Structure 1
């Protein structure tokens, strides 16, 4: 049987969509939302109708009859902590995302758009591997300050999908392996997957700096800067997320531009480039201890994984731990679609979102 799945992935200034027939891609499109258009709306939720209409317009322009859809899946937004895998979108989830979002974020629109499209077609809408996936072991939650437990915010969608892809490509079952996955993008997160469960992470504020994020910084120095009187709360947040990392040192967020600088003999660029790879490697080594060194493979993914220079530097430092598999790209639309396909094929079950049951799930 052929299942046709629409995947919707909203970003800050674009909405990416894909249509899959089972695991075969039919359509992939990026819909740009100019800054002047976005500026018309007071908050992210207000953009819902505009974005939904744009999605439907693109489907029509590409001769995709929405009545042929079997399911719709949206990028899972910033909900309270949820488990991995698929959740059916329901009124409770929509109420949370519209009226009480944990954080205002464009990804919150994924479920809302999907639900509205699916409702008119009388089919199910899903999210899959939300940003808020939290399967941390209890021991991993402690931070060192009572009442300040670690949050589990990571690139769960692509990281789990690439862990599964690695497993399938090697004729193994994801639930039988211990894997470490490094997602290298605008932010960098590293996760350890123990027998199919993401039990610990190094988040983008705990590990390596990245093109635009500071990563792990010296606590005492950052506290001193906070109380220097020179910076506002907003300034400090922007310093570590948006103006930190590579852009702080070199004035660019583009790794390709950094590599061009290196080729032109820029020693500062060379040092920053190597330092990022060095710090990613440290995070991988850190998480290897979680599974007592019993790591079956290390997967490097994300947009920066297209850089042979970066992946080679990381591989050189970590391949003593386990074999390294490079699977570049964000792969989010594919990950959403194939996740829901597994639900439709009966290979996975979808959870029902109930806020009072989340902690017990």
Structure 2
């Protein structure tokens, strides 16, 4: 257990900084009670997940397999409930048409917000997209294909375009893994992912006038869909351009609300019952909520994980885990998925990090010791 903790010290630093950030926060939108409750949520969740990891490693079990079975249960439970007309129907009415089903299959239906899972359909879609590659951890091939059909149907019903794009792009990267060096692919993803925001700033406002995007464009692509993100990001970038206490250490969750400029875009979401208050970008929200210190810590954690992936690049499971991590990184460019916004997503990544470090670093050490003995 001590060795596992030492090998995953960055995960523990990452976790303690999150708790620390609540108590240094000067965000007037967070009451003392909210800070305490969020801290307790993090502590309880972290203790549960780490205990589960320790148990699985001690008993030579794969915790990811347990997570996938839980995911499969929730996935099909939601689909069954949807078939019985049980979902968050009041939210679906606000979300509008599922454009992919409408434009590809001529099926007119409102976007679905499943009964079990996060209130945000986009977070649910990211959750499903992230777990899609992990389905291949399952040993039963028939079950895999059955689950993949359920995943495809769910993503079409939720109609979150970025999650589908992220999953598609990540699967395309899976095949070069066998020919290209994983360290090259990983470094490219790590460097280019944050720059993806800059590309989106230029591309999203053009969707309305680009006929080639008609298939995935919502009716008129109005301001409350893609274009709103560009408005938010432009406002936020001005806020984080200056170094001060808030930008270095963060202003607490929904840190963007501490800036008066948030009034420039919050009015757009009145129809969403004030459910949308984040900046729709994980990397920008990390700076606003936890500061540049946290962003640097996140990248240190990411590079540590990438180093372990590189050392074990020929392992099939490592390739599967890498696709999931890439889905996470790409999805973070248009949604906030680190913090208390949706625990399951970030804890999946932390569990992957801890399990991969604990298992595969041991394998590397064992192989090095074996090679040393052979030489002697």
Structure having greater relative contact order (Cα 8 Å, sep ≥ 6): 2
The answer to which structure has the higher helix fraction is 2
TM over 0.5: no
TM-score of the aligned structures, taking structure 2 as reference length = 0.23
The structure with the greater share of residues assigned to strand is: 1
